[in-house]
């Protein structure tokens, strides 16, 4: 590390409390689907300290509908503003997008949580709460890295575009809207929870909705009807078999330690309207993974055809085939070329802080990286604190140590990628407390 890098990382180490406080405030603002605005207010308050050009807007559904990658069925973004803050560089450096989503998934069964999910309880070096890992921890690492550079008075050559986007958990309309507004860069980093590994490939995914039909009857003579609930068991079993077939195909060594590289997750099941009636309809919703080398259209066709074959197992499906829709969310897969400078810059920053080589992996889940890459022509690397096994779960947490390490690595990475401008020395501005 050179003198400047030392100064930045030391500042981060000494000011850890600032990062912890920011993360707690972000978790405290529950920012589930369509309700991200109060958490964005906390982001704005922090950004206003950094002398950046701030752009806040509510994405326009009308505009988004013109883009082929927009697949949401929401009607407006009234309480879901996007934020992009730009720090213009002195010139001559590479530009960088730092992208994190502010939306979180619902907390699920409250009784399963040890600590209240939006209270951000700190305990034994961890902070607990919905969104701590996915991905307010990563967002905090980005903001804390920017704060460290600002505090040390560093001027970069390239532009930095910080993005706090909505709607990632529902398919990326926030990032897509930023792309459509013209925000692109020479590279991007998304600090989703990779447990400080470099995720150079990301699995894509899509949401499906399967409707299974039955024939209603009084429960007391249930043999006069056909239970859509019983029929749905065949569908669930068939989806598990398809998952096996699809994953047996994947030979990429980056996935060798991942038990199910492209899972088919059955997330919700809803059927029937009355305890003593035979259910005439069951709706199954879930998420189907897309391998980095697959096209979404091919995967849709494969799943739809697979379920058509149910008619060979059970005559009922011949006359009442299941209906398959794709709705709500889609994350495109992403693939960063071997030897891309994003990889080498991040590796070098990682080694300076961790004194070891980083692990490369392919992520078993999608990110907004697919959109930045395919829609925004911006190469993307995914790297952040937190373990994905904590995400979307009760007792979601992040380790403070990992958050601070990530912030340090990211601050060095920003300096390396964008370059330091002449006169960007700390002495020019002094260190702010």
For residue 146 the two structure tokens come to 């920017």
Q: Identify the burial level of 377 via C-beta atoms within 10 angstroms of its C-beta, where 0-12 means exposed, 13-18 middle and 19 or more buried.
A: exposed
**What is the 8-class DSSP label of residue 322?**
P
Minimum distance between the CB of residue 151 and its own copies, rounded to whole angstroms? 34
Please, which of residues 253-272 interact with its own copies by CB under 8 A?
Answer: 259-260, 263, 265-272
Please, which of residues 200-229 interact with its own copies by CB under 8 A?
Answer: 203, 205, 207-209, 215-225, 227, 229
Beta strands in 179-253 (DSSP E): 187-190, 198-202, 204-213
What is the distance between the alpha carbons of residues 281 and 225, in angstroms, rounded to a whole number? 12
C-beta of 86 vs 236, nearer to its own copies: 236
C-beta of 272 vs 321, nearer to its own copies: 272
Does 273 contact its own copies by CB under 8 A? yes
Minimum distance between the CB of residue 275 and its own copies, rounded to whole angstroms? 4
Does 55 contact its own copies by CB under 8 A? no
What is the distance between the alpha carbons of residues 409 and 345, in angstroms, rounded to a whole number? 10
Of 160, 391, 402, 414, which one interacts with its own copies (CB under 8 A)? 391
C-beta of 102 vs 228, nearer to its own copies: 228
Does 394 contact its own copies by CB under 8 A? yes
Of 275, 339, 430, 433, which one interacts with its own copies (CB under 8 A)? 275
**Closest by Cα among 94, 418, 353, 367 to 205:** 367
| Residues recognised as catalytic | 103, 168
Phi, psi angle pair for 143, to nearest 5° = -65, -35
Minimum distance between the CB of residue 318 and its own copies, rounded to whole angstroms? 18
Please, which of residues 144-163 interact with its own copies by CB under 8 A?
Answer: none
Q: Torsion over CA of 15, 21, 24 and 28, rounded to 10 degrees?
A: -150
Q: Strand, coil or helix: what is 43?
A: helix
Q: How many residues touch its own copies (CB under 8 A)?
A: 66
Beta strands in 125-191 (DSSP E): 126-128, 160-165, 187-190
Asked whether 27 and 141 are in contact (CB, 8 A), the reply is no
Binding pattern for the stretch 329-348 against its own copies, x by CB under 8 A and - elsewhere? x-------------------
**What is the 8-class DSSP label of residue 359?**
P
Chain centroid to CA 258: how far?
A: 18
Asked whether 377 and 115 are in contact (CB, 8 A), the reply is no
Does 279 contact its own copies by CB under 8 A? yes
C-beta of 54 vs 394, nearer to its own copies: 394
**Closest by Cα among 42, 389, 334 to 190:** 334
Which window, 94-102, 284-292, 311-319, 336-344, contacts its own copies (CB under 8 A)?
Answer: 284-292
Binding pattern for the stretch 1-40 against its own copies, x by CB under 8 A and - elsewhere? ----------------------------------------
What is the distance between the alpha carbons of residues 375 and 370, in angstroms, rounded to a whole number? 8
Please, which of residues 293-322 interact with its own copies by CB under 8 A?
Answer: none
Helix (H) or strand (E) holding 244: helix 228-248
Minimum distance between the CB of residue 387 and its own copies, rounded to whole angstroms? 9
Q: Strand, coil or helix: what is 421?
A: coil
Minimum distance between the CB of residue 384 and its own copies, rounded to whole angstroms? 14
C-beta of 147 vs 168, nearer to its own copies: 168
Point out which residues bind its own copies (CB under 8 A): 105-106, 108-109, 112, 134, 169, 203, 205, 207-209, 215-225, 227, 229-230, 232-233, 236, 259-260, 263, 265-282, 285-287, 289, 328-329, 363-366, 388-389, 391-394
């Amino acid at each position: 590390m050179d003198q400047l890098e030392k100064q930045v990382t030391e500042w981060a180490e000494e000011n850890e409390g600032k990062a912890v406080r920011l993360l707690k405030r972000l978790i405290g603002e529950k920012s589930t689907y369509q309700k991200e605005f109060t958490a964005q207010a906390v982001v704005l308050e922090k950004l206003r300290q950094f002398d950046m050009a701030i752009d806040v807007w509510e994405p326009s559904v009308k505009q988004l509908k013109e883009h082929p990658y927009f697949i949401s069925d929401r009607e407006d973004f009234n309480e879901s503003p996007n934020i992009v803050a730009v720090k213009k560089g002195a010139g001559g450096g590479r530009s960088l997008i730092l992208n994190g989503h502010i939306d979180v998934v619902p907390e699920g069964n409250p009784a399963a949580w040890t600590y209240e999910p939006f209270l951000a309880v700190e305990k034994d070096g961890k902070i607990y709460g919905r969104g701590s890992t996915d991905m307010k921890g990563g967002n905090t690492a980005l903001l804390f890295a920017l704060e460290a550079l600002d505090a040390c008075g560093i001027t970069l050559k390239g532009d930095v575009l910080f993005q706090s986007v909505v709607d990632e958990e529902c398919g990326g309309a926030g990032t897509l809207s930023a792309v459509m507004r013209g925000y692109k860069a020479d590279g991007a980093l998304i600090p989703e929870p990779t447990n400080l590994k470099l995720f150079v490939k990301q699995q894509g995914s899509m949401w499906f909705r399967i409707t299974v039909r039955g024939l209603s009857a009084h429960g007391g003579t249930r043999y006069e009807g056909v239970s859509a609930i019983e029929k749905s068991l065949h569908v669930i079993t068939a989806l598990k078999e398809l998952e096996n077939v699809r994953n047996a195909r994947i030979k990429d060594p980056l996935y060798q330690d991942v038990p199910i590289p492209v899972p088919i997750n059955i997330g919700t099941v809803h059927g029937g309207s009355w305890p003593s009636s035979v259910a005439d309809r069951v709706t199954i919703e879930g998420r189907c993974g897309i391998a980095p080398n697959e096209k979404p259209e091919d995967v849709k066709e494969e799943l739809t055809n697979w379920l058509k074959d149910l008619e060979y197992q059970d005559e009922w499906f011949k006359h009442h085939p299941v209906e398959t829709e794709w709705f709500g969310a889609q994350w495109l897969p992403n693939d960063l070329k071997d030897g891309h400078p994003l990889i080498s810059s991040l590796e070098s920053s990682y080694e300076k802080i961790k004194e070891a080589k980083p692990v490369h992996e392919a992520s078993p889940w999608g990110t907004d990286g697919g959109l930045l890459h395919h829609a925004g022509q911006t190469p993307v690397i995914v790297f952040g604190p937190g373990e994905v096994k904590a995400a979307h779960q009760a007792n979601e947490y992040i380790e403070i140590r990992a958050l601070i390490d990530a912030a340090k690595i990211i601050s060095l990475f920003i300096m390396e990628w964008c370059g330091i401008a002449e006169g960007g020395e700390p002495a020019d501005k002094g260190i702010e407390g």
